[in-house]
Amino acid sequence: MINRLKRLTLQIFKQHSLPRGMVLSIDITAVFIAFLISYLLRYNFESYTFSWSIAIVHAFLTCTVYLAFMLAFKSYVGLIRQTTVKDMFLIGVTNTSSVIFLVIITVCSRQFVLPQIFNIPMSILLIHYGAATISLVFFRVFIKMFYMYASVPSSYRKNVLIYGSGETGIIVKRVIESDPKSGYQLKGFIDDNTKLQGKKVDGYPVFPKSVLTRDFIETERIETFIFAIKDISVLKKAEVLESVIDLGLEILDTPSFDQWLNGNLQVKQLRKVQLEDLLGRDPIDLDLKRIGEGLENKTILVTGAAGSIGSEIVRQLTKYNYKLLVLVDQAETPSFFLNNELRNKYQACRYKLIIGDVTNYLKMDFIFRKYRPEIIFHAAAYKHVPLMEKNPHEAFRVNVGGTKNISDLAIKYDAEKFVMISTDKAVNPTNIMGASKKVCELLVHAQARRSGIATKFITTRFGNVLGSNGSVIPIFKRQISEGGPVTITHPDITRFFMTIPEACQLVLEAGFMGNGGEIFIFDMGKPVKILDVALKLIHLSGLEPYKDIKIEFTGLRPGEKLYEELFSDTEQQLPTHNPKISIARVAEADYECILPKIHETLQNIYNKTGPEVFQAMIDIVPGYTSKHAATGKG
């Protein structure tokens, strides 16, 4: 019966709202009645002690003044069921202005002996001021509370803990309470401030972090944990999130102020915590002046521009005062989406988007000849280890051949900088993809050593980036959404991880460091077990590993390492001014022979067998071996 009444009430609320004229009429009626009650209160309800006719005249005068200020401040305009603090403030301003004006009229009537209708007792004005304000506020609060009661199903609301009882935490609390559809019910705050623990903030208890145990969560039936602290280090935030991830809670994060809609936070903006939030990395400190000067009024070419890394490099470049971005990618659909993003989100971006294959020398030469790029970020490459292991011709043709074409053209057209994106899989490679990228590193180093060239060649090397196309994170998320199982090749396999924006920021930084010929290595932090990544993603999805989602181990794939490295045994690590970037001093190699070997392999590559391509890699890359070359498979 109650639920049926609530549904009927909610339907009425949705289909109808009080017209402004009716709200204004209700407000004026409330002011009129409050004035007469104020008269009775002033005279202790002894109505025979005053003239009702004078009281009614005074009431009409008061209503006239209040009406004028209501129209001026539009205190009746807001939707009653969505009353906010701003609406309350407008009522206060309207009523205060009205009573001040009435006091002035009364003082003037006494000073200049005006008719009695203008001489309202001060005590009645003050009593009425309080009564009218309470009446108007109560009317709005009553309607809003009734609407909230009707909007939220009486059977279920999620119990919430908010981490942080400061300004942001209180804002989140009030947003939750003001949104009847949020489905959340606050149980209290968590705060590290010992002076607040055990007390109440905005009517709710403040608990220490030590209460975050399974017993407490189950006893209080907590289902959601909202992180709501603005000024906190990323390491501390990651520590807090790690402490609750195993409790089976829905974990939400509060966006930064600049992401709020029109300066107001909404419940729908509370986002689920991402794996990136658990990395606990300090913000990257970039030399913005050096980067800005290096890009000033330059034409910049980005290959692989529609890929995960390439597109993020493009986003980072939009912040600078460049001349033109020339964006090249052979993938039509990703390029289409990149074009839409640039048009919609970066309307001031000056760019040319070109569909083209970096292995097509004539097409690339046409692009260089037409646009004359001065800075080149070469991100185009094949990257999937198992696929490349089965397609060695394509790994060499695209990764090595594309790099050779673009680097040759950079020299031909006197480009200032050539920055190549490499990978940690190029260190002591065990697969064709890593070996092809190591060949690219050697190729770029050989180009840098050529005499009489103006181009500075830079190589950047880093590990896996979170969320890149085809990486383990999107695969795990898809497997979890499908109910599992989550597949992992080995329980002890580890990888380095960083976010795509982090990686691309460091690419820009490294691009304008050094004198050319360097391999810059990014600080990836500590290696992370892939199993731990899977467990955290399952927890962040609100599920229990092994119970809700099974985990299966499938065995290492061909060419896959148990762990990755950022430096080989023959490379010396040197520091730079940026603590997150090091230089790998590579061992000397026979660079004069590298370019001819690459050229010979690329010539008529499809007339070569798979084992011959593998063998060519072995001949170029010191220490690389392949069972395919030995067994004749491929």
Whether 174 and 70 map to the same domain: the answer is no
DSSP SS3 for 191: coil
390 is catalytic: no
Whether 259 and 229 map to the same domain: the answer is yes
Q: Are 241 and 231 in contact (CB under 8 A)?
A: no
Residues paired with 499 in a beta bridge: 466
- Residue 619's pLDDT is what? 85
- Residue 148's pLDDT is what? 62
Tell me if 634 is assigned to some domain: no
Whether 147 and 162 map to the same domain: the answer is no
- Residue 137's pLDDT is what? 85
Question: What are the C-alpha distances in Å from 507 to residues 305, 399, 400, 407, 567?
Answer: 14, 19, 20, 17, 17
Whether 212 and 118 map to the same domain: the answer is no
Whether 329 and 303 map to the same domain: the answer is yes
Angle (deg, nearest 10), helices 500-511 and 288-295: 70
Whether 119 and 177 map to the same domain: the answer is no
What are the φ/ψ torsions at residue 232 (nearest 5 degrees)?
Answer: -155, 145
**Marked catalytic residue, from 144, 237, 298, 425:** 425
Q: Are 594 and 558 in contact (CB under 8 A)?
A: no
Residues present in the chain in total: 634
Place of tokens 């909202």: 226
Tell me if 633 is assigned to some domain: no
- Residue 628's pLDDT is what? 65
Q: How far apart are CA 306 and CA 301, in angstroms?
A: 13
- Which one, of 479, 483, 406, 442, lies nearest residue 595 by Cα? 442
Domain boundary among 273, 299, 316: 273
Whether 407 and 553 map to the same domain: the answer is yes
Q: State both tokens at 313.
A: 């490099």
Whether 409 and 514 map to the same domain: the answer is yes
Measured in whole angstroms, the distance separating CA 476 from the mean position of its chain's CA atoms is: 20
Q: How far apart are CA 81 and CA 317, in angstroms?
A: 46
What is the domain count for the chain? 3
Alpha-helical segments (H) within 264-373: 288-295, 308-317, 332-345, 361-371
**How many C-beta neighbours within 10 Å does residue 239 have?**
14
Domain boundary among 110, 125, 151: 151
Asked if residue 596 has a cis previous peptide bond (ω within 30° of 0), the answer is no
Whether 322 and 299 map to the same domain: the answer is yes
Q: How far apart are CA 463 and CA 460, in angstroms?
A: 10
Tell me if 278 is assigned to some domain: no
Range of the domain at 167: 158-273
Tell me if 536 is assigned to some domain: yes
CATH of the domain at 212: 3.40.50.720
Mean pLDDT per 10-residue interval, the chain, length 634 residues: 53 58 86 89 81 87 90 78 76 91 90 83 90 86 68 65 85 76 80 85 86 86 85 78 81 74 68 73 70 91 93 92 94 94 91 95 96 95 89 94 95 94 87 91 89 90 74 84 90 84 85 83 83 86 85 84 77 80 76 84 88 87 69 45
Tell me if 199 is assigned to some domain: yes
Burial class (CB in 10 A: 0-12, 13-18, 19+), 261: exposed
Q: Are 143 and 80 in contact (CB under 8 A)?
A: yes
Tell me if 462 is assigned to some domain: yes
Whether 403 and 426 map to the same domain: the answer is yes
Whether 392 and 458 map to the same domain: the answer is yes
Tell me if 281 is assigned to some domain: no
Tell me if 132 is assigned to some domain: yes
Domain boundary among 151, 173, 194: 151
Range 397-427 burial, b when 16+ CB lie within 10 A, else e: bbbbbbbbbbbbbbbebebebbbbbbbbbbb
Q: What is the pTM of this model?
A: 0.68
Please provide the distance, in angstroms rounded to a whole number, between the alpha carbons at the two ends of the chain.
73
Whether 189 and 147 map to the same domain: the answer is no
**How many C-beta neighbours within 10 Å does residue 301 have?**
28
